[in-house]
A and B are shown apart, each in its own frame.
Chain A
Amino acid sequence: MVPAITADKLTKKFGDFTAVNQITFEVQKGEIFGFLGANGAGKTTAMRMLNGLSRPTSGQASVAGFDVYRETEKIKKHIGYMSQKFSLYEDLTVRENIQFYGGIYGLPGREIRHQIKELIGGLGMQEYANTLVKAIPLGWKQKLSFSIAIMHRPEIVFLDEPTGGVDPITRRQFWEMIYKAASEGMTIFVTTHYMDESEYCGRVSIMVDGRIAALDTPRALKEQFGASSMNDVFLQLTRPNQHGS
């Protein structure tokens, strides 16, 4: 089976600064893959290359079987993207947002009408259907953003810091949506600052200064570093001289 994502010595330089330095990894279909790193470690740059938004300086990568140099438009059609900051239009209603994105994804009108019903019903958001997105609670926005990001059934969905600030029950409902999508074969690629979040992933990679410094299941990483949590693993990797403090 072709992996959902492959990267082989993928590199991006800005002038003489190497933002992403020869990263190599594979993500399998249906996997929940956590992509971690401190601010400035190169996560965003790496993700932009995989999304077809930034041309690599060297190395190889493919996403959903498409090449990140030559087939960026195909990549964009086969992925979904959700960021906590930019996903929805605040001045459109819930219904209008679904309609708008349905149009962007090129879904036929009949399919969009079906999706509006399906999606609002599935989320139990009937009471908010005609409410402006800026007026709905954050937890609902996140669930809606995710549903919209996958309404065109992409093979891979990229989640950029998806779940900050919500209560613990809502956060878990969100993760259950992610598990459901993964169980149906969708590949999930998620970046987060919050290390407890990374423990929900099947495997995680941790970037430090443009490189992948560690990559394994959360359990194996904790064992390898003799750490009780992913937070400890992260701190050991990013503050190597201070661990145990």
Chain B
Amino acid sequence: MATTQAIQVESLSKRYGKNVQALNQVSFEVGRGELFGLIGPDGAGKTTLIRILATLLLANEGQALVNGWEVRRDYRKIRSHIGYMPGRFSLYQDLSVEENLHFFATIFGTTIEENYELIRDIYVQLEPFRKRKAGKLSGGMKQKLALCCALIHKPVVLLLDEPTTGVDPVSRQEFWEMLKRLKEKEITILVSTPYMDEASLCDRVALIQKGNILSIDKPAGIVSAFDKPLLAVRTNDMYRLIHDLREFESTHSAFPFGEYVHLALRNAIWPEAIHAYLAGKEHTDIEIKPAQATIEDAFMELMTQE
């Protein structure tokens, strides 16, 4: 394998015990400076994959290189050159904000001052609380501190395991803005998330489910691969609508999407035919309009093809 990529993974598999296949022959590459998303639900294998790349877990089969270093042989080099933010808050709750940061700088043989430039944007928001114990911070602030600690040694690759799980929409948005700015500083970022709507914020994404990668592409490519005619339908009775649409002869799939049902069709038909069918089922206030497929539509389609 050429070593120009920031992350290279080939045919990686991991089992827990006899029955749990956490990763099944997973392969992908992440280019330098890329913001790459690993998108999938709980149990998809995201954490396992990130832990293997962080050299905290050994794979059963396959190869993985981080910045050209092999995860098994070169684990020391990898550990000193990557930043890793685990899914669970893992800073020292009894140390203050400042002490945590100082601690992580010291164990990586650097100082806060040396790489302050990299974390300044984020750290200024924490500065008013720098004497506060990490355990007493709000969720959004903890997350910012964890990111600062993961960045303090200026890593070449940043591994973020579900950084936005459980945080409110404002903190989520701020977090993604921070990642965008880090990307401009040419740090490669691999970030996992169960939230499909975050896919559009990545350069490329891998959709992952039950240890298998379903698709790897730019977000726009994933969405445009959804090739069924798609309509958004609503009526006065959402619950009956879902069931009635599933029984309609031209229906490929019908899933609720907010106030609408996304109706994917086997073949293009006139909306009037659907309107007439629903009116016949005593629906009122019928609205039918073309819909743009989302990452979730694409994900569900790939899941059901499996």
Residues of A at the B interface (CB closer than 8 Å) are 38-40, 137-139, 164-170, 172, 175-176, 179-180, 182-183, 193-196, 199-200, 217-219, 231, 234-235, 238-239
A-B contact pairs, 16 of them (CB 8 A): A38-B170, A39-B138, A39-B139, A167-B41, A167-B299, A168-B299, A169-B255, A170-B41, A183-B237, A193-B167, A193-B169, A194-B169, A194-B195, A199-B258, A218-B258, A218-B259
Minimum CB–CB distance for B123 against chain A, Å: 20
Given A231-B169, A235-B169, A238-B170, A196:B194 Cβ within 8 A: no
Say yes or no for B168: interface residue by CB 8 A criterion: yes
Say yes or no for B45: interface residue by CB 8 A criterion: no
Contacting residues, chain A, for B171 (C-beta < 8 A): 39
Contacting residues, chain B, for A169 (C-beta < 8 A): 255, 300, 303-304
Cα–Cα distance between A164 and B40 once the two chains are bound (Å): 12
The answer to whether B242 and A200 touch across the interface, beta carbons within 8 angstroms, is: no
The answer to whether A179 and B238 touch across the interface, beta carbons within 8 angstroms, is: yes
The answer to whether B256 and A176 touch across the interface, beta carbons within 8 angstroms, is: yes
The answer to whether A164 and B259 touch across the interface, beta carbons within 8 angstroms, is: no
Cα–Cα distance between A218 and B238 once the two chains are bound (Å): 15
Closest A residue, CB atoms, query B260:
A199
Say yes or no for B270: interface residue by CB 8 A criterion: no
Could you mark each residue 162-185 of chain B with 1 if its beta carbon is under 8 Å from any beta carbon of chain A, else 0? 000111111101000000000000
Q: Which 5 A-B pairs have the closest CB atoms?
A: A199-B258, A167-B41, A179-B239, A165-B42, A183-B239
Cα–Cα distance between A218 and B259 once the two chains are bound (Å): 8
The answer to whether B194 and A183 touch across the interface, beta carbons within 8 angstroms, is: no
Contacting residues, chain B, for A231 (C-beta < 8 A): 169, 197
Given A199-B258, A218-B258, A168:B239 Cβ within 8 A: no
Contacting residues, chain B, for A238 (C-beta < 8 A): 169-170
Minimum CB–CB distance for B140 against chain A, Å: 7
Say yes or no for B67: interface residue by CB 8 A criterion: no
Contacting residues, chain A, for B169 (C-beta < 8 A): 38, 193-195, 231, 234-235, 238
Given A183-B240, A199-B258, A219-B259, A168:B196 Cβ within 8 A: yes
Cα–Cα distance between A235 and B296 once the two chains are bound (Å): 22
Contacting residues, chain A, for B271 (C-beta < 8 A): none
Could you mark each residue 238-274 of chain B with 1 if its beta carbon is under 8 Å from any beta carbon of chain A, else 0? 1110100000000000011111000000000000000
State which of B41, B140, B173 has its C-beta within 8 Å of the C-beta of A165.
B41
Cα–Cα distance between A167 and B255 once the two chains are bound (Å): 13
The answer to whether A137 and B304 touch across the interface, beta carbons within 8 angstroms, is: no
Say yes or no for B209: interface residue by CB 8 A criterion: yes
Say yes or no for B290: interface residue by CB 8 A criterion: no
Closest A residue, CB atoms, query B303:
A169
The answer to whether A196 and B258 touch across the interface, beta carbons within 8 angstroms, is: yes
The answer to whether B239 and A167 touch across the interface, beta carbons within 8 angstroms, is: no
**Secondary structure of the A contact surface, majority rule:** helix
The answer to whether A167 and B40 touch across the interface, beta carbons within 8 angstroms, is: yes
The answer to whether B40 and A172 touch across the interface, beta carbons within 8 angstroms, is: no
Cα–Cα distance between A11 and B138 once the two chains are bound (Å): 23
The answer to whether A167 and B209 touch across the interface, beta carbons within 8 angstroms, is: yes
Contacting residues, chain B, for A176 (C-beta < 8 A): 239, 242, 256
Given A39-B167, A239-B170, A138:B256 Cβ within 8 A: no
State which of A38, A138, A182, A200 has its C-beta within 8 Å of the C-beta of B42.
A138
The answer to whether A196 and B41 touch across the interface, beta carbons within 8 angstroms, is: no
Given A138-B42, A194-B195, A39:B168 Cβ within 8 A: yes
Cα–Cα distance between A209 and B255 once the two chains are bound (Å): 35
The answer to whether A179 and B42 touch across the interface, beta carbons within 8 angstroms, is: no
State which of A137, A219, A235 has its C-beta within 8 Å of the C-beta of B173.
A235
Say yes or no for B43: interface residue by CB 8 A criterion: yes
Cα–Cα distance between A167 and B44 once the two chains are bound (Å): 9
Contacting residues, chain A, for B237 (C-beta < 8 A): 183
Contacting residues, chain A, for B167 (C-beta < 8 A): 39, 193
A38-B169, A167-B40 known; 4 other A-B pairs, CB under 8 Å? A138-B43, A176-B239, A234-B170, A235-B173
Contacting residues, chain A, for B255 (C-beta < 8 A): 168-169, 172
> Could you say which of A196, A219, A234, A235 has the most chain B C-beta atoms within 10 Å of its C-beta?
A196
Contacting residues, chain A, for B168 (C-beta < 8 A): 38-39, 193
Cα–Cα distance between A213 and B118 once the two chains are bound (Å): 37
Contacting residues, chain A, for B240 (C-beta < 8 A): 183
